Amino acid sequence: MKIAVIGTGYVGLVTGTCFADSGNDVTCIDIDEKKIAALNNRQVPIYEPGLTEMVRRNVEANRLHFTTDTPSAIEPAKIVYLAVGTPQSADGSANLTALWAVIDTVAPYLGQSAIIVTKSTVPVGTNRKIFDRLKELTGRECRVASNPEFLKEGVAIDDFMKPDRVVVGVRSEEDARTLHQLYKPFLRTEKPFLVMSPESAEMTKYVANALLATKISFINEMANFCERMGGDINDVRRGIGHDSRIGFAFLFPGVGYGGSCFPKDVRALASMGEDHGFKSSMLRAVDAVNDDQKRIIPQKMEAFFEGDLGGKVIGIWGLAFKPRTDDIREAPALVLIEWLLQKAATVRVHDPEAMANVRGEFGDRLTYCKRQTDVLDNADALVIMTEWGDYQRPDFEKMRAQMRKPVIFDGRNLYELEQMRDRGFIYHSIGRPTVGND
- Per-residue pLDDT reduced to its tens digit, 19-40: 999 999 999 999 999 999 999 9
- Told to judge if 261 belongs to the known catalytic residues of this protein, a careful annotator would answer yes
Name the segment(s) of the chain with CATH classification 1.10.1040.10: 206-293
Write the pLDDT tens digit of every residue in 355-379: 999 999 999 999 999 999 999 999 9
Write a three-state SS string for the chain.
Answer: CEEEEECCCHHHHHHHHHHHHCCCEEEEECCCHHHHHHHHCCCCCCCCCCHHHHHHHHHHCCCEEEECCHHHHHCCCCEEEECCCCCECCCCCECCHHHHHHHHHHHHHCCCCCEEEECCCCCCCHHHHHHHHHHHHHCCCCEEEECCCCCCCCCHHHHHHCCCCEEEECCCHHHHHHHHHHHHHHCCCCCCEEEECHHHHHHHHHHHHHHHHHHHHHHHHHHHHHHHHCCCHHHHHHHHHCCCCCCCCCCCCCCCCCCCCHHHHHHHHHHHHHHCCCCCHHHHHHHHHHHHHCCHHHHHHHHHCCCCCCCCEEEEECCCCCCCCCCCCCCHHHHHHHHHHHCCCEEEEECCCCHHHHHHHHHHHCEECCCHHHHHCCCCEEEECCCCHHHCCCCHHHHHHHCCCCEEEECCCCCCHHHHHHCCCEEECCCCCCECCC
Residue 312 — φ and ψ, nearest 5°?
Answer: -70, 145
> Please, are residues 111 and 105 in contact by the beta-carbon 8 Å criterion?
no
Write the pLDDT tens digit of every residue in 90-130: 888 899 999 999 999 999 999 999 999 999 999 999 999 99
The C-alpha angle with vertex 122 and arms to 120 and 126, in degrees rounded to 5, equals 115
The whole-number pLDDT of residue 90 equals: 87
Q: How confident is the model at residue 438 (pLDDT cuts 50, 70, 90)?
A: low
Write the pLDDT tens digit of every residue in 46-60: 999 999 999 999 999
Name the segment(s) of the chain with CATH classification 3.40.50.720: 2-196, 296-428
Write a three-state SS string for 44-113.
Answer: CCCCCCCHHHHHHHHHHCCCEEEECCHHHHHCCCCEEEECCCCCECCCCCECCHHHHHHHHHHHHHCCCC
- Whether domain 296-428 has CATH 3.40.50.720: the reply is yes
Q: What distance in Å separates the CA atoms of residue 315 and residue 425, rounded to the nearest whole number?
A: 15
Q: What distance in Å separates the CA atoms of residue 175 and residue 289, rounded to the nearest whole number?
A: 41
Mean pLDDT of 233-251: 96
The whole-number pLDDT of residue 92 equals: 87
Mean pLDDT of 190-217: 97
For the cut 90, the answer to whether the pLDDT of residue 288 exceeds it is yes
- Whether domain 2-196 has CATH 3.40.50.720: the reply is yes
- The amino acid at residue 331 is A
Mean pLDDT of 299-311: 97
Q: What distance in Å separates the CA atoms of residue 402 and residue 376, rounded to the nearest whole number?
A: 6
Name the β-bridge partners of 314.
347, 381
Write the pLDDT tens digit of every residue in 147-158: 999 999 999 999
- The amino acid at residue 389 is G
Mean pLDDT of 222-236: 96
Give CA separation, 89 vs 92, 123, 197, in Å. 5, 13, 27
User: Considering 142, 226, 261, 369, which one is annotated as catalytic?
Assistant: 261
Q: What distance in Å separates the CA atoms of residue 273 and residue 271, rounded to the nearest whole number?
A: 5
Q: What distance in Å separates the CA atoms of residue 74 and residue 79, rounded to the nearest whole number?
A: 9
The whole-number pLDDT of residue 91 equals: 87
CA atoms within 13 A on the CB side of 30: 24
Task: Compute, in degrees rounded to 10, the torsion defined by CA atoms 120, 46, 212, 292.
Answer: -110
Max CA pair span of the chain: 76
Residue 110 — φ and ψ, nearest 5°?
Answer: -70, 130
Mean pLDDT of 171-184: 97
> Please, are residues 48 and 325 in contact by the beta-carbon 8 Å criterion?
yes
Nearest CA among 103, 59, 61 for reference residue 80: 103
Any residues with CB less than 8 A from the CB of 313 and at least 6 apart, and which? Answer: 345, 346, 348, 378, 379, 380, 404
Mean pLDDT of 166-186: 97
The whole-number pLDDT of residue 151 equals: 94
CATH architecture of 206-293: Orthogonal Bundle (1.10)
How does 97-132 read in b/e, with b if 16+ C-beta sit within 10 Å?
ebbeebbeebbebbeeebbbbbbbbbbbebbebbbe
